């Protein structure tokens, strides 16, 4: 399958998705405003071609021709994050467009001004013209549906997953003090100041507790100042932003992770922590209750409540057996529902379904034309001219909980209702799409 991703090539999420699909045999191309090498993936800078024989005409026409060529050259064109790429409904109809909002492009974080109406209108149009819309989880599906006026059942939930082979439990040093980790970075959306204000309350009950805070951001300086004013700087170790490859080494040092986010669309950092059997104390907001099961794999507290955050941290640090049991439960959940390979399976199921539905639309149009024009014979699924059509159909319906009934295709550019639940490979229970 030939896949083109329009997104930020420097994003770890785009890198993991593109590299994972390429490793499975797809030809993956990433068009981005920022260049970054991705193993096995062709990464190019998105730019309007210069005037020439291949692209004649003025700038706007060349932009349209460029996008049309992208649509025609790939089986799937997948937009990650609702950026304005200049895609119109006519251009979208020339290919198979999949769109994935990430959360902050739907609901502005607290440190970002509300989006201007023209920008919001463009993002709603982009969602409505897609053949499929995917999101990380149910909370973001509801927010996306409300934002664009879609039915939540028309949206596929395909979560970001975790590689349990990389993120696995490690023996902890018995001589290390109880340690709380924070990995999200120093932006208002992640609530770092809430965590800072909880630290004196934790130390009042557990003087030996230590905190390891990782990342950068506009609030890093003010958080350091706050630590000094609260006289807790001796209990904190500060780390610069770390590459994703070193994250398991950091989490392995912690007894629990803190995520006092003010706004969170999903919670991949929570899943990475849980995969290493490190429980999470997090805000009850957005998608975090989907990834942190309150009382099972961690504890949830009200948004912005530093007292409740401190109480939850102390409750787990002072109860080792409970803390370890929550970590073990969290890892089992990650393996069952968020294994990275099963998440890639779901991406491929969506892509194959979009291709199959588009073929069905064309076949219907062809049949209508044949009734008017004698002598035309449509190519049937599974015939030598379309060998992959039947394969796509069997792959979707025979694996990963796909329905055995064919979906009724809609017109090009529309999203189809998702009436079935996806079954996680290896799990006998039915789960709502994650």
Q: Write the DSSP assignment of 25-76 as a string of letters.
A: T-EEEEEESS----TT-EEEE--PPPSSSSS-S-HHHHHHHHHHHHHHH-SE
CA 106 to chain centroid, in Å, comes to 14
Structure confidence by residue, pLDDT tens digits, 63-82: 888 899 999 999 999 999 99
- Domain boundary (286, 316, 337) is at 337
Structure confidence by residue, pLDDT tens digits, 306-345: 999 999 999 999 999 999 999 999 999 999 999 999 999 9
Say what the pLDDT of residue 54 is: 64
- Using N-to-C axis directions, what is the helix angle for 268-275 and 320-337, rounded to 10°? 110
**Cα–Cα distance measured from residue 265 to residue 191, given in angstroms and rounded to the nearest whole number:** 14
Residue 275 and residue 330 in one domain: yes
Q: In terms of residue numbers, what domain contains 329?
A: 179-337
CATH number of the domain to which 431 belongs? 3.40.50
Residue 299 and residue 239 in one domain: yes
Residue 269 and residue 353 in one domain: no
Which residues share a beta bridge with 299?
Answer: 281
Residue 349 and residue 302 in one domain: no
Which tokens is 386 given?
């379309």
Residue 273 and residue 375 in one domain: no
Residue 193 and residue 309 in one domain: yes
- Domain boundary (309, 337, 365) is at 337
Say what the pLDDT of residue 47 is: 82
CA 120 to chain centroid, in Å, comes to 20
Residue 193 and residue 306 in one domain: yes
Q: Evaluate whether 15 touches 37 at the Cβ level (below 8 Å).
A: no
Q: What are phi and psi of 277, to 5 degrees?
A: 60, 35
To 10 degrees, the CA torsion angle through 254, 260, 266, 267? 0
Return the exposure string of 308-347: e unless at least 16 CB atoms fall within 10 Å of the residue's CB, then b. bbbbbbbebbeeeeebbebbebbbebbbebbbbebbbbbb
Sign of the dihedral through C-alpha 6, 9, 10, 14: positive
Higher pLDDT, 431 or 7: 7
In what helix (H) or strand (E) does residue 140 lie, and over which residues does it extend?
helix 138-148
Q: Which pLDDT band, with edges at 50, 70 and 90, does 186 fall under?
A: very high
Q: Has residue 167 been placed in a domain?
A: no
Answer whether residue 377 shows pLDDT above 50: no
Which residues share a beta bridge with 80?
Answer: 100
Q: Has residue 5 been placed in a domain?
A: no
Structure confidence by residue, pLDDT tens digits, 128-153: 999 999 999 999 999 999 999 999 88
Q: Which pLDDT band, with edges at 50, 70 and 90, does 174 fall under?
A: confident
What's the chain's average pLDDT?
Answer: 84
Residue 255 and residue 328 in one domain: yes
Q: Has residue 106 been placed in a domain?
A: yes
Say what the pLDDT of residue 358 is: 76
List the single range of 82-91, 217-226, 276-285, 401-410 with lowest mean pLDDT.
401-410
Residue 221 and residue 314 in one domain: yes
CATH number of the domain to which 237 belongs? 3.40.50.2000
Q: Has residue 265 been placed in a domain?
A: yes
Q: Has residue 18 been placed in a domain?
A: no
Answer whether residue 124 shows pLDDT above 70: yes
Return the exposure string of 228-251: e unless at least 16 CB atoms fall within 10 Å of the residue's CB, then b. eeeebeebbebeeeeeeeebbebb
Q: Has residue 374 been placed in a domain?
A: yes
pTM value is 0.80
In what helix (H) or strand (E) does residue 237 lie, and over which residues does it extend?
strand 236-239
Residue 111 and residue 125 in one domain: yes
Number of domains the chain contains: 2
Residue 242 and residue 323 in one domain: yes
Return the exposure string of 369-379: e unless at least 16 CB atoms fall within 10 Å of the residue's CB, then b. eeeeeeeeeee
Say what the pLDDT of residue 49 is: 66
Say what the pLDDT of residue 110 is: 78
Question: How many other β-carbons are positioned within 10 Å of the β-carbon of residue 34?
Answer: 12
Which tokens is 405 given?
């009934």
- Domain boundary (337, 364, 382) is at 337
Residue 213 and residue 328 in one domain: yes
Q: What are phi and psi of 48, to 5 degrees?
A: -70, 130
Q: Has residue 7 been placed in a domain?
A: no
Q: Has residue 12 been placed in a domain?
A: no
Q: Give me the mean pLDDT over the 96-102 stretch.
A: 96
Question: How many other β-carbons are positioned within 10 Å of the β-carbon of residue 150?
Answer: 18
Q: Evaluate whether 298 touches 327 at the Cβ level (below 8 Å).
A: no
Say what the pLDDT of residue 217 is: 94
């Amino acid at each position: 399958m030939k896949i083109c991703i329009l997104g930020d090539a420097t994003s770890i999420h785009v890198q993991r998705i593109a590299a994972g699909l390429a490793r499975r045999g797809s030809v993956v191309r990433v068009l981005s405003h920022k260049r970054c090498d991705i193993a096995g993936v062709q990464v190019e800078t998105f730019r309007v071609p210069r005037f020439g024989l291949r692209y004649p005409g003025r700038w706007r026409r060349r932009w349209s021709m460029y996008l049309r060529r992208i649509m025609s050259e790939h089986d799937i064109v997948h937009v990650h994050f609702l950026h304005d790429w200049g895609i119109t409904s006519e251009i979208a109809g020339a290919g198979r467009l999949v769109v994935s909002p990430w959360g902050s492009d739907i609901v502005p974080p607290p440190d970002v001004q509300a989006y201007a109406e023209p920008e919001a209108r463009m993002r709603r149009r982009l969602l409505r013209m897609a053949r499929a819309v995917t999101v990380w989880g149910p909370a973001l599906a509801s927010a996306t549906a409300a934002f664009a006026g879609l039915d939540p059942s028309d949206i596929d939930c395909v979560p970001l997953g975790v590689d349990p082979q990389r993120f696995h439990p490690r023996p902890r040093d018995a001589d290390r003090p109880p340690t709380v980790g924070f990995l999200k970075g120093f932006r208002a959306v992640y609530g770092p100041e809430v965590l800072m204000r909880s630290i004196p309350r934790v130390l009042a009950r557990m003087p030996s507790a230590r905190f390891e805070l990782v990342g950068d951001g506009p609030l890093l300086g003010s958080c350091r100042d706050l630590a000094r004013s609260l006289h807790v700087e001796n209990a904190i170790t500060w780390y610069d932003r770390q590459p994703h490859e070193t994250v398991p080494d950091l989490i392995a040092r912690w007894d629990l992770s803190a995520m006092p986010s003010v706004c969170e669309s999903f919670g991949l950092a929570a899943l990475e922590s849980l995969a290493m059997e490190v429980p999470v104390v997090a805000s009850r907001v957005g998608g975090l209750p989907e990834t942190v099961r309150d009382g099972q794999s961690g504890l949830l507290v009200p948004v912005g409540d530093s007292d409740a955050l401190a109480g939850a941290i102390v409750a787990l640090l002072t109860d080792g057996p409970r803390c370890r049991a929550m970590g073990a439960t969290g890892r089992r959940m990650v393996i069952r529902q968020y294994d990275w390979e099963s998440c890639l399976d779901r991406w491929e199921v969506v892509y194959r379904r979009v291709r199959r539905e588009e073929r069905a639309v064309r076949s219907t149009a062809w049949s209508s034309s044949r009734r008017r024009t004698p002598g035309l014979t449509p190519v049937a699924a599974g015939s030598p001219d379309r060998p992959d059509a039947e394969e796509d159909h069997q792959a979707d319906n025979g694996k990963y909980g796909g329905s055995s009934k064919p979906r009724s295709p809609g017109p090009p550019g529309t999203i189809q209702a998702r009436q079935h639940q996806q079954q996680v490979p290896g799990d006998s229970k039915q789960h709502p799409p994650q």
